[in-house]
Amino acid sequence: MRKRRVKETDSDSRPENGVADESSALVVSVHRIEEEVQRELLGQAELRFSSLVVRRVPGGVCLEGVLEADDVDAASSSVCGLARRVAGVQDVLNHLVVRHSNKNVPVKG
């Protein structure tokens, strides 16, 4: 088993080109957008999620999980519209599975 050496640095040392600072800011920005979209969606009383995962994609977010809904079309468009209200989100990839909470759904076949 190999041991890795940990490079010690001063707490005052900063990169000369600022790359580390920019990449740190980018990571914070990406997570901020994901968190804000998730907060926006989970904060809606009319939307009921069994699970929700928000991932950042170029230009927007990808939504994954299970949404409990009576009206599939209204819930789907509502979710996308709410996600787009968050700054930095233009595109929404809706990969949510919608489960009918209406128990009177006719059986196919």
- Listed ranges 2-6, 58-62, 97-101; the one with the highest mean pLDDT: 58-62
Helices (H), the chain: 19-42, 72-84
5 assigned to some structural domain: no
Q: What per-residue confidence (pLDDT) applies to 18?
A: 46
Put simply, whether the predicted model's pTM sits higher than 0.85 gets the answer: no
Residue 55: per-residue pLDDT: 96
pLDDT digits (tens, 9 = 90+) for 33-51: 999 999 999 999 888 999 9
Distance from chain centroid for Cα 5: 36
CA-wise closest residue to 42 among 51, 33, 55: 51
Higher-confidence position of 60 and 105: 60
Do the domain assignments include residue 63? yes
Q: Is residue 26 part of a domain?
A: yes
Would you say residue 36 lies in a domain?
yes
Residue 3 lies in a domain: no
Could you give the 3-state DSSP secondary structure of residue 103?
coil
Q: CATH number, domain at 33?
A: 3.30.300.30
> Which DSSP string corresponds to 26-56?
HHHHHHHHHHHHHHHHHT-TT-EEEEEEEEE
pLDDT at 37: 96
Going from the C-alpha of 45 to that of each of 17, 48, 49, 72, the distances in angstroms are 47, 7, 10, 16
Total domains present in the chain: 1
Whether the predicted pLDDT of 6 surpasses 70: no
Say what percent of the chain tops pLDDT 90.
45
Does some domain include residue 55? yes
